[in-house]
Each structure stands twice: as structure tokens, then as C-alpha cells.
Amino acid sequence: MPIRSNAPVSNRLLWTTRHRSGGAAQQREDLLAEIGEHVALRRAPARAERAPADLAQQARVREQVQVVTHRGGRDRFALHERHVGGGQRIVGDGERAQRADPQRVGEHPEGEDALLRFSVMYGQWTGNFSAGNLVRAAEQAKQFLALAEKQTRSAPLLVAHRLMGGTLLVSGEFQTARLHLNRAIALYVPEEHRSLATRFGQDIGVATLAYRSLALCHLGYLERALADVDEALKRARDLGQAGTLLYAVGMGALSEIHCGRFRVAEALVEELLGFSEKYGSPPWKGIGELLRGCIFVATNRGENATQLIGSGLSVLAATRTTVFSPFGLTWLARAHAACGQVAEARNALSRALDVAGKTNETWDEAEIHRTAGELAASDPHADPKISESYFHQSLTIARRQNAKSFELRAATSLGRLWRNHGRRDAARELLVPIFDWFTEGFDLPDLVEAKALLEELQ
């Protein structure tokens, strides 16, 4: 009987050491990550104190942050407030902020002025991350971390690990992202760090949990991912801060979709759309429409899905938000395919691959290829080798990224194709090892589907 995620951590670690496949380095990373998650959940407060109201936070930002002037008075630039995620984030003023030297931005040793300069760096990272400039965002996250490690205060280091984790996550480096996010969660102390939401748009602890839930989803730890979603939502509701609520609800819905819990996801999406309207946040409205369309596809309501996903992507493009585009375009392809619009589906997948290649947003790359394989397999006149090639490519990417959930999906798709063409033994040999790797989430759709196929192949 597999060890479930709610077993004592010592038992789970013992099982992992004895039975999990992979080399010593991978096992060591898994153990460190699991210990970090266990300790972080044990340290989580039962109930967070309510944060100051949003208007009070905005007033504090306006009062504290007007102009940053570098030494010598040469590189002077104003700061302004921009609505991203419903809360106030501090971002640089256009190109001058993008060109600011991070070493000079973070050179002040300590104090409020140092946090202000880190806020500027955060704004620069946010601009590049949202716009899909992920190579540049990764460089900025590394610079942020290098400077934060020189500070005695923990706040910059906490934010730095959150930035590293988020950037690595969408770049498909799930295991390394998980380690950084674990570090951020371990550093987070509510009484000390809750006020950072004023500077960074949302509570850093909640945002980190939201990102870690997605990392865990991809890595195959589905029950732990859902536990992070629940914890992030609880903390966000306790805080009652707009940006934090939007972040927890929106990212939580994304994780629920990944795990196949579409009814739960739909309730969160409706809440997200309500919040985005209430707080005036176009990016989250776009994400909400996109996610609603994904749910419609998955629950056989494809007739409205293409319009919803297309509208969501358009809203995001209007706000210069490119992140999530490959994910959205993949689901758009599925929506078109459900309506028999094969040419449109192929075009959406081509666009998804193009955006992923240009931006390095590769966290959904394996699914793009698998969806292309499913589209080809749906044509009874197509050469099955075309589908097989796509499924193999999906498997290769998932294995390289250590994305166990996507590896299981690709193996299930390829196994089904082989079964249909008389290769039952090969299908079983492909699917058994990856299915046996999992220790949790057996009541979720991906594992239910894989188990049913295995039973058929016996």
C-alpha cells in the first residue's frame, strides 16, 4: 500500500529513500524539499491577523514612495503605482527603470531605503515577467538574490527566493523552483513580513504557497499541491487584502484545473471574476475568462470556450501580459478541436510553440506536444506515426523537466495509441513505471484514467 501524503513525515522520507527511482542527487533534492514543506506547514499560524485596509496601504505607499535618486543625482527616476493583481505594486517609470543598475539600486545597506530600492528591482522583474521576457526576469531574480544575501534583514531574501521560484517555475525548472519556494516559506514570519504586501502587491507568503502548489502539481505531488492551495486561500481570506485574495484565488484555480478538480476550479474562477470587477484588475479578469474557458472545454461545454479563452488572451495582451499565453493557446486548441475546427486548433498550437520558444515559458511545453498528438490521433485517416512522434516528444520534455504529471499524461496518451494498434505489451511496459512512481492523488482524473488503461491492458 503506497504511503499517502498525510503519513508522518519520517515514514514518507523512509519510503522515498528506499523505493523512489532516481539518482542520489535527485533523492537528496526530494528529501530536502519534503522536509521544507513539512516544516513550513508545521510553522504556519492558525489564523493570520487582518492586514490594514487597502486604502490605508495605498496611502502609505504614496506617502513613502515618490522619487528614488541614485548617488550623484544622475540616474533619477520617478516611481508610480500600477494595478497588477488588484494590489499596488511599485514599478519603475518606463525604460529608465528597466535600465537602472541593480547593483546601485540595492547598494544601500539596510533600513527602509534599502527596502524601497528592492521594491524598484521587484518592479523591474514584474514588468519583464509579465511581458514574457523571462530570460531577463531570470537575470534580475539572480541579481536580487545576490544582493539580498548581503542584507541582515530577512525580507529581501524572502522576496528573492519567491522571485527565483516563480521564474524557474514558468521556465519549466520545477524541482529547483520548489527548493527556492520552500526556502521562502521557511523564511516567512507573518508578524514580520505581512506588511510587505504594501510594497509588493500581495502577501509574499500567500504568493509563494500559490506558486509552490503549481510546482508540486507538475512534479506529481498532487495532494500536497492541493494542501498548499487550501492554505493559501485560508491565509488570503484571513488577511482580506485585495491583491492577496486575487493571487490566491486565481493561482489556486489554475492548480485545481491542473489536478482535474474542475468544479472546485469553477467556483474559484467565479470568485476571481467577481474580485477582478470589484477591485478593477484587468489582468486578473483576463486570467479569469481564460480559466473559465479551460473549464468549459474540460466539462464538455466547448461551444462557448473558444470565445472565452480568446477574450481572456485579448485582455491579457491589452495589458501587455504575455505570461500564461502558451497555456491558454493550448487550451484554445482543445476548444477548437472539440468543435471540429481542426485547422484553427493546429494554428493555436503553432502559436503556443512559437510563444514558448520566444519567451522561454516552457512549463506547459510537454502538454502542447501531447495535445498535438491527440489532435492527430483524432483523425482516422492520419498516419499513427505522426501522433506517436508528438507523444514521444511530450515524454522527452516531461522527463527532462521531471514533470511527473505530464509524463503520466503523455504515457497514457501513447499507451492508448499503441493499444489501438495492437501493441498492448509495449503500452503496459511504458505506463507501469510512471504510474508506480506516484504515491498520492489516486482519486484524481489523471491517475484514475491511467489505472483504467492499465487494468484493460492486463
C-alpha grid cell, residue 79: 516611481
Cα separation, 35 vs 432, in Å, equals 28
Residue with cell 524601497: 116
* Under-50 pLDDT residues of the chain: 1-22, 25-33, 35-36, 38-100, 102-103, 105-109
How far apart CA 405 and CA 450 sit, in angstroms, is 11
Q: How many CB atoms lie within 10 A of CB 219?
A: 22
Q: What is the largest CA-CA distance in the chain?
A: 75
What angle is formed at CA 233 by the lines to CA 318 and CA 270, rounded to 5 degrees? 50
User: How high is the pLDDT of residue 180?
Assistant: 98
Rg (CA), the chain: 22
d(CA 106, CA 104) in angstroms, rounded, equals: 5
Q: What is d(CA 359, CA 171) in angstroms, rounded to the nearest whole number?
A: 9
Q: One-letter amino acid identity for 304?
A: N
CA distances (Å), 226 to each of 68, 216, 251, in order? 41, 9, 11
The DSSP result for 384-436, as a single string, is HHHHHHHHHHHHHHHHHHT-HHHHHHHHHHHHHHHHHTT-HHHHHHHHHHHHH
Architecture of domain 53-220: Alpha Horseshoe (1.25)
d(CA 324, CA 309): 12
Looking at residue 52, what is its pLDDT? Answer: 40
Question: Please, what is the end-to-end C-alpha distance for the chain in angstroms?
Answer: 20
CB of 190 closer than 8 Å to CB of 383: no
Identify the sign of the CA torsion 143, 145, 146, 150.
positive
Domain boundaries, the chain: 53-220
Q: How far apart are CA 434 and CA 46, in angstroms?
A: 37
Q: Looking at beta carbons, which pairs linking 186-194 to residues 24 or more positions away fall under 8 Å?
A: 186/36, 186/39, 186/40, 186/43, 187/154, 187/157, 187/158, 187/161, 188/40, 188/158, 189/154, 190/45, 190/48, 190/49, 191/49, 192/154, 192/155, 193/154, 193/155, 193/158, 194/48, 194/49, 194/51, 194/239
Q: How far apart are CA 225 and CA 216, in angstroms?
A: 5
Distance (Å, rounded) from C-alpha 402 to C-alpha 313? 28
Long-range contacts of 301-304 (CB under 8 A, 24+ apart): 302/335, 302/338, 302/339, 303/339
The helix, strand and coil proportions of the chain, stated in percent and rounded to the nearest 5, come to 75, 5, 20
C-alpha cell at 260: 482535474
Residues in the chain: 458
pTM of the model: 0.80
Q: Give me the residues paired with residue 68 across strands.
A: 77
Which residue matches cell numbers 488503461? 453
**pLDDT on residue 356:** 97
Three-state DSSP state, 20: coil
